[in-house]
Amino acid sequence: MRIAATAFEAQQGMTITDAQHVILQVNQAYTQITGYSAEESIGKTPNMLASGRHDSSYYAAMMQSLEQNGAWTGEIWNRRKTGEVYPEWLTISAVKDSAGLTSHYVAIFSDITAKKESELRINHLAFYDPLTQLPNRRLLLDRLQQALASRKRSDAYGAILFIDLDNFKTLNDTLGHHIGDLLLQQVAQRLRNCVREGDTVARLGGDEFVVMLEELGNQLQDAVAQCESVGKKILATLNQPYQLAGHVYKNTPSIGITLINTHQEKVDDLLRRADLAMYQAKAAGRNTMCFFDPEMQSAVTARAALESDLGQAIQAAQFVLHYQAQVVRDGEIVGVEALVRWQHPLRGLVSPAEFIPLAEETGLILPLGRWVLETACQQIADWAGQAETAHLSVAVNVSALQVHQDDFVEQVLELLQRSGAPAQRLKLELTESLLLNDLDTVISKMMRLKAMGVGFSLDDFGTGYSSLSYLKRLPLDQLKIDQGFIRDILVDPNDAAIAKMVIVLGETLGLSVIAEGVECVAQKDFLAQIGCHAYQGYLFSRPLPLAGFMQLLREKSGAGSGA
């Protein structure tokens, strides 16, 4: 009896009832959990604890189990004396008499509130983003799968809006990640306010968000119109200034949209399409939205194949240099611009306009640019040993990524030394965009190379962010008038005025000026009339492979084919 009494006063709540479920005895743990004393409970039934969350069928199933199996175990919601509803784990056992009839019931239960709260926390961590409290990628994928499954029962369209914050990295880099986190939290709240209650706003990670719209109707035009309306609302809302710990900050989004219109879609394909549309919005200038177009997928597939081929092309030596003559007054060739060409084994000659931007974006411009410099230096060295070519300079375009490398100067000097090329014959062409970041460091690198004899030309002058304040600081040798101004120089007074301005500016700063894209005699004569006497363009020569250029040089020098 002592042992039984000790067991009865265990940490778990206990009640003993008769066969009619009238409470005969409770323990102290029962009182602690329910709030009811023994005096308040004895003589009543456990119905006094009912929470109201379970219907009559629930209790009928419980009694059926007791009658058939002599026991019931499960989770149940009960109500404390305070009115608080709480979850408990309950086991009820039937006590049989010598005749095999139920004489009593013994119930043992424990409060599992803490366990349930822990499960909820774990579930929240598993399915929600801790920073924004939005559904995370895992929950989004689950809801997308459910949305696709529902297409079997409904023809209504759904949609995915893939949202990426423009220039978010700049905010993190300048004001810190804690400010970036504040922006993400405010963006999340604004996105919630832009959609209906049944729609989903999720954070994929970083600064990427996804909005999933459902039940957009059965008509394509209506679904597109609703998507467009939500997209415009998101654009307007996210364009409003943010207050970030004392900083007033303006941020814009780029949005890609794709429709869900069949249950046979795949979740990954839907997200990929929305992502592609988002990048199309980026390419269109940011702060806009684009719908997915199947042609976009084809373009991206082709781009991926080109990127793969590009990486292999450098190793496979598929690149060659072509040379375009640079001439002075009477057509004398004084130099060349080295232009890289890709001799693809299947596609033939690939245009630089197609692969140079890709090389820039992927970082492959670094090994490619080094190869161009190395090949150009070797050509300079070869020409330096021949009387008819010793005077030729070679202009090489260098990208911002190359110049901003810490060892760029050392790379150039090492290539010059290894090839034996005279530095005075190498001219590096820079674009104005290169000068936007860390100008002082760029100038320092230019000065070091200038001291060794390397020349510099500012390419596409006038098309970017021309500034006299930095122009006078740069150790330049030459300004290059962009072909965009030359094309209509004979008919557009503005182009003519800009060309004249560049020439006067060059003279003032003691710099030579060369015009590119000269295609007819009238353009050349006009340029000569306003003071420009160096030219490059199809009037004189297209970019030629080495053998073709050498033939042109012989013809110009009058040496003939046997020279």
Structure tokens at 115: 């366990």
> Taking Cα atoms as reference points, which of 56, 55, 57, 515 lies closest to residue 329?
515
Phi and psi of 223, rounded to 5°? -65, -45
pLDDT for residue 551: 94
pLDDT for residue 563: 35
Beta pairing partners, 201: 211
Per-residue pLDDT of the chain (563 residues), as tens digits, is 665 555 566 678 999 999 999 999 999 999 999 999 999 999 999 999 999 999 999 999 999 999 999 999 999 999 999 999 999 999 999 999 888 899 999 999 999 988 888 887 777 778 899 999 999 999 999 989 888 887 777 778 889 999 999 989 888 888 889 999 999 999 999 999 999 988 999 999 899 999 999 888 888 888 888 988 899 999 999 999 999 988 889 999 999 999 987 766 788 889 999 999 999 899 888 999 998 877 655 766 677 788 889 989 988 989 999 999 999 988 899 999 999 999 999 889 888 988 998 898 888 999 999 999 999 999 999 999 999 999 999 999 999 899 999 999 999 999 999 999 999 999 999 987 777 677 889 999 999 999 999 999 998 776 655 566 677 888 999 999 989 899 999 999 999 999 999 999 999 999 999 999 999 999 999 999 999 999 999 999 999 999 999 999 998 876 444 43
pLDDT for residue 467: 61
Cα separation, 539 vs 331, in Å, equals 10
pLDDT for residue 559: 45
Cα separation, 204 vs 128, in Å, equals 10
Residue matched to tokens 């058939």: 68
Domains belonging to the chain, first-starting first, are: 2-113 (3.30.450.20), 128-292 (3.30.70.270), 318-557 (3.20.20.450)
**Cβ-proximal residues to 220 (8 Å cutoff; 6+ apart), any chain:** 157, 259, 261
Alpha helices in 493-532 (DSSP H): 493-509, 521-529
> pTM above the 0.75 mark?
no
How many beta carbons lie within 10 A of that of residue 372, not counting itself?
Answer: 20
pLDDT for residue 8: 65
Residue matched to tokens 């003519």: 496
- The tally of CA atoms less than 13 A away on the side-chain side of residue 17 is 17
Name residue 423's amino acid. A
pLDDT for residue 243: 92
- Computed from CA positions of residues 129, 195, 268, 181, in that sequence, does the dihedral angle turn out positive or negative? negative
